[in-house]
Amino acid sequence: MLKPSKSELGQYQSKGYFLRSKFFSQSEISEFRLRARGDLDRDLKNNKVMIKGDKEGNQTLLKMWNSAEDNFYGFIARDERLVVLAQEILGDDVYIYSHKMTMKNPGEGGACEWHQDFGYWHNYGLLAPTLLSIYIALDESNRENGCLQVLTGSHNLGRLNHIRENDQTVIDGEYLEEAVNRHSAEYVEMGEGDALVFHCNLLHRSDANLSQKHRWGYIASYNAVSNKPFKKVRDYGHFQKMHMVKSGQFMEHSEL
Ligand SMILES: O=C(O)CCC(=O)C(=O)O
């Protein structure tokens, strides 16, 4: 099923997110994980991975791709299963705003404090919150290894003020306190290959990964073409015409 179901659309509208389990098959997610562990370990050694800290000094590794080319990772971002979901939900033609891997390694992956993605994307020349992200779990993700948490329905608050704190862009604490009073916080536990689709104004965070298990997630974010940025602030996010590829095309592509 490429299009979102009625129930998924309803959840997206009321809660700001929905979960689709087994979005990638077992063989796809096993291949994706195997490839990513090897490629990104090599990228880390070659200084092609960002290292982000949290207030306790735990580190998260972050790999970002600025475009989605004809290669393994580009084909994942352009896979019709992701693109059609984004198009149908946003009701517009879309392009890939960014795609990245957050790598929370055992006993070290840092916490990520409450924020809306549009909290900072807006500063990069975006007027409207017509973006969404699809988070695909490469590993089982649960409370123990610091899974994502969301404030249900908080996307309806619109964009809130964000500040820089400990190297992260986070929601202003006074507003967070009130948002937490009004919206319930949920842990989003996911199996490997599951996908979480969420609105760019949904408040979310994650704990540090203090467990002995990896918690890696791939996040592809899509913007409506009509909302392309009016200025260039970052190397990513600029409009590039996107050519969708068939489901699982990345499995046929072995080189980087
Ligand atoms: O993977 C995580 O723990 C959080 C990632 C996140 O919130 C983000 O990249 O905006």
What does the alpha-carbon distance between residue 61 and residue 71 come to, in Å, rounded to a whole number?
A: 21
Check pocket membership of 207 for ligand 1, CB cut-off 6 A.
Answer: no
Which 8-state DSSP code applies to residue 23? S
Is the Cβ–Cβ distance between 129 and 201 less than 8 Å?
yes
pLDDT digits (tens, 9 = 90+) for 113-155: 999 999 999 999 999 999 999 999 999 999 999 999 999 999 9
- Domain boundaries, given as residue ranges, for the chain: 13-243
Is the Cβ–Cβ distance between 167 and 115 less than 8 Å?
no
Domain spanning 13-243: CATH superfamily: q2cbj1_9rhob like domain (2.60.120.620)
Neighbours of 245 (CB within 10 A): 20
What does the alpha-carbon distance between residue 115 and residue 160 come to, in Å, rounded to a whole number?
A: 9
pLDDT at residue 254 greater than cutoff 70: no
Q: Which of 122, 148, 187, 199 to mutate to test the pocket of ligand 1 (most atoms within 8 A of CB)?
A: 148
What does the alpha-carbon distance between residue 129 and residue 145 come to, in Å, rounded to a whole number?
A: 30
Check pocket membership of 219 for ligand 1, CB cut-off 6 A.
Answer: yes
User: What is residue 200's three-state secondary structure?
Assistant: coil
- Which residue's C-alpha comes closest to atom 9 of ligand 1? 102
Residues in contact with 232: Cβ distance below 8 Å, sequence separation at least 6, in sequence order: 125, 238
Work out which ligand 1 atom sits closest to the CA atom of 117. Answer: 10
**Beta bridge partners of residue 70, listed in sequence order:** none
pLDDT digits (tens, 9 = 90+) for 193-250: 999 999 999 999 999 999 999 999 999 999 999 999 999 999 999 999 999 999 999 9
